[in-house]
Structure 1
Amino acid sequence: MKKAENIIVGISIGDLNGIGPEVVLKTFEDSRMLELCTPVIFANVKILSFVKKTFESTANLHGIDHLDQIITGKINVLNVWRENVDLNFGANDDAVGSYAIKSFVAATQALKEGAVDVLVTAPINKYNIQSDEFKFPGHTDYLNQELEGNALMLMVQDNLRVGLLTDHVPVNEVSKHLTPALIAQKIETVRKTLVQDFSINKPKIAVLGLNPHSGDNGVIGKEEQDIIKPAIKKLFDKGTLAFGPFPADGFFGSGQYEKYDAIIATYHDQGLIPFKTLSFGKGVNYTAGLDKIRTSPDHGTAYDIAGKGVADAQSFQEAVYLAIDIYNARNQYAEMSANPMKVKEKREEKNNR
């Protein structure tokens, strides 16, 4: 297993007119971060030097032209492009959006090739990234194409983990996407990631209903009775500890979520509104279900405060921490899977304490 400082964290810079560059620099101003990992920012060192000067950042940048030039203990900036980019903090700019995608595509390629160990993505603007070369709604859809597996958005903050059956789907189309196959796939993805990435041996998973009061026995909708509940029962009968569907309105307020290792919401806002309310800006978006590790902060470009130097870097910092933790957990899981006797020894050691 790699030593902590040798874990290479690839960082896509996101929208340069947003708060991404600011929170990246703020995160690595703390020299202790360089004891945990070696960052590689996919951007341009001149651009980041300008941003550094703008915010009077103390981060020391080390420009490189090739990934074999990475230096441990430095904030490496890989020059993905050479030309100058005009920045206008807070502005929606298609040209700036194209550089966000150049950064992201290059960082993803490095992740695929193993040149970086994990990927942390700064926020993009979904509107200005669209082009003939990039026709994806956002990071997750592109990663799902480029990396092996089935991507699932999992929001994480300590022991609170919220996944989604459907993510960027219009509310009036959610029910059309709910199928037994989709529900089974998403629950299995969450179960697997809880085991290998969060070291939870027998995870308990709660699934929320789609309709008010979880359909009220079919009075306010039949998706729960006809689709969700049978799919959960089928998995439960095979040994997966999945429960529900639960009425979503009181599930979080009552503290019921604390009884489960993960909660799966049926659509985006049903899961993210309570998550962001409870996580207080410390949440992380983890793309579960892939053969590589990617995290991001739980916020967007925040154009309204971009360039003012007031952005809170905590969510981005937590995204770096989580990526490192999952990298270590996944390696340990692989090691134990290859050596079952070691698993037995660790369990006996734990029981004898």
Structure 2
Amino acid sequence: MKKDQKIKVGISIGDLNGIGTEIVFKTFADSMMLDFCTPILFASVKTLSYVKKVLGSQIGLHGIDTVSKALEGKINVLNVWKEPVKIAFGEATEEAGKYALKSFVRATKALKDGEIDVLVTAPINKATIQTDDFKFPGHTDYLAKELNGDAMMLMTTDSLKVGLLTDHVAVKDVPVHITPEVITQKVETLYKTLQSDFGIHLPKIALLGINPHVGDNGVIGDEDDKVLIPTLEKIRDTGKIVYGPYAADSFFGSGNYKNFDAILAAYHDQGLIPFKTLSFGKGVNYTAGLDQVRTSPDHGTAYEIAGQNKADHGSFREAVFMAIEIYKKREDYEELTRDVLKISPRKSVHKGRQAPKES
């Protein structure tokens, strides 16, 4: 991207029967947003014009048939389809899932091909997008297949970042999925992300235990003693500042999370319940560890208020800003890394740094 060009933010439109289109419209109804980026919505001008009329939105839409025709200062809509689509606000339908998938797949291809700089995804219904060709629990899993890197769900605000060792996995299967290899890989992904995407030179990471009270010395399960603790010891020996495991029930309530740059939770609800309690409406879901930038709001389709102009667009707006900020941070980090390698190509900038071990 040229320095004088605005960042191209691709937006997959999500479930048309949910609040996705509404929060997109409300975000870009503020004309100042166009000073920060060039939005490209992957949908259909005809479909979005209908939704715009229902919602009473006054935003202008600029229809294009190729991404290269996107104009700065406009809310661009790439016509991924042109046929009429039935909108049924508040209902989970196969038709809405079909077009949510069309939008997401085309936007992902644009991200891969460099047509857009970052991707922000509006909420989908995971059930209605399932097809013979698309059998993924959600956005993250498909992106992990299509893009390079080790994908990890990272819920973020300015002051709180929560990653997951396992994400869309049934609770009964969580211990099976948490292996030394997975723990090591997730810590490495989170560590690099905090450095390159958030500008934190020496990140401090906390891990939460798998079982209640970290297993109470094996009384409530032995996974923490046999898998998590030995793996953390080995990771610390590499020089990373990683503490834990901590008992999850008191970690957030005590405010201990404020002492760390990021937290790794063992499973989905262990991490997301406290995160959303502390930051709902302000949080962003970021897919860390990939070679491209993707963010989304921290909520779902909200069928119960769809089409009623009641949706809060705060989280989606934050997702747009965070995607832009991470993109810039990555550029700065890559430039810094290149400069360091020119000075000392054979030395690691972290060599010899040993993280303190927990007492």
TM interval, shorter chain, is over 0.9
| Structure 2 partner of 1:31 | 31
Cα shift at 1:217: 1.5
- SS of the residue corresponding to residue 320 of structure 2 reads helix
| Structure 2 partner of 1:171 | 171
- SS of the residue corresponding to residue 226 of structure 1 reads helix
Cα shift at 1:343: 10
Distance in structure 2 (CA, Å) of the matches to 1:114 and 1:130: 27
Distance in structure 2 (CA, Å) of the matches to 1:184 and 1:233: 11
Cα shift at 1:154: 0.1
Distance in structure 1 (CA, Å) of the matches to 2:331 and 2:113: 17
Cα shift at 1:342: 9.9
1:15 aligns with 2:5: no
Distance in structure 1 (CA, Å) of the matches to 2:128 and 2:157: 29
User: Is the Cα contact below 8 Å between 1:4 and 1:35 reproduced in 2?
Assistant: no
User: Is the Cα contact below 8 Å between 2:280 and 2:298 reproduced in 1?
Assistant: no
- Which amino acid letter does the alignment assign opposite residue 53 of structure 1? K
Stretch of structure 1 that moved more, 6-15 or 132-141: 132-141
Distance in structure 2 (CA, Å) of the matches to 1:155 and 1:119: 16
Residues 80-99 of structure 1 aligned to structure 2 (within 5 Å): 80-99=80-99
- Which amino acid letter does the alignment assign opposite residue 63 of structure 2? G
User: Is the Cα contact below 8 Å between 1:5 and 1:36 reproduced in 2?
Assistant: no
User: Is the Cα contact below 8 Å between 1:180 and 1:231 reproduced in 2?
Assistant: yes
Stretch of structure 1 that moved more, 208-217 or 184-193: 208-217
- Which amino acid letter does the alignment assign opposite residue 147 of structure 1? L
| Structure 2 partner of 1:256 | 256
Residues 1-353 of structure 1 aligned to structure 2 (within 5 Å): 2-3=2-3, 6-340=6-340
Cα shift at 1:219: 1.5
Which runs of 4 or more aligned residues in structure 1 lie more than 6 Å from their structure 2 counterparts after TM superposition? Answer: 341-344
Cα shift at 1:214: 1.0
Aligned residues: 344
Unmatched runs of 5 consecutive residues or more in structure 1? 345-353
User: Is the Cα contact below 8 Å between 1:283 and 1:298 reproduced in 2?
Assistant: yes
Q: What do the CA deviations read for 1:170-225 (whole angstroms, capped 9, x no partner)?
A: 00110111100000000000000000000000000000001111111211111111
- SS of the residue corresponding to residue 73 of structure 1 reads coil
Distance 1:203 1:4, change over 3 A: farther
Distance 1:343 1:287, change over 3 A: farther
- Which amino acid letter does the alignment assign opposite residue 57 of structure 1? S
Distance in structure 2 (CA, Å) of the matches to 1:343 and 1:281: 44
Distance in structure 2 (CA, Å) of the matches to 1:339 and 1:136: 40
User: Is the Cα contact below 8 Å between 1:155 and 1:275 reproduced in 2?
Assistant: yes
Cα shift at 1:80: 0.2
Distance in structure 2 (CA, Å) of the matches to 1:3 and 1:125: 37
Cα shift at 1:280: 3.0
Distance in structure 2 (CA, Å) of the matches to 1:204 and 1:119: 28
- Which amino acid letter does the alignment assign opposite residue 164 of structure 2? L
Stretch of structure 1 that moved more, 245-254 or 130-139: 130-139
- SS of the residue corresponding to residue 289 of structure 2 reads strand
If the length of structure 2 is used for normalisation, what is the TM-score? 0.94
Cα RMSD (Å) of the superposition? 1.4
Distance 1:121 1:330, change over 3 A: same
- SS of the residue corresponding to residue 57 of structure 2 reads coil
- Which amino acid letter does the alignment assign opposite residue 13 of structure 2? I
- SS of the residue corresponding to residue 91 of structure 1 reads coil
User: Is the Cα contact below 8 Å between 1:336 and 1:342 reproduced in 2?
Assistant: no
Distance in structure 1 (CA, Å) of the matches to 2:26 and 2:342: 40
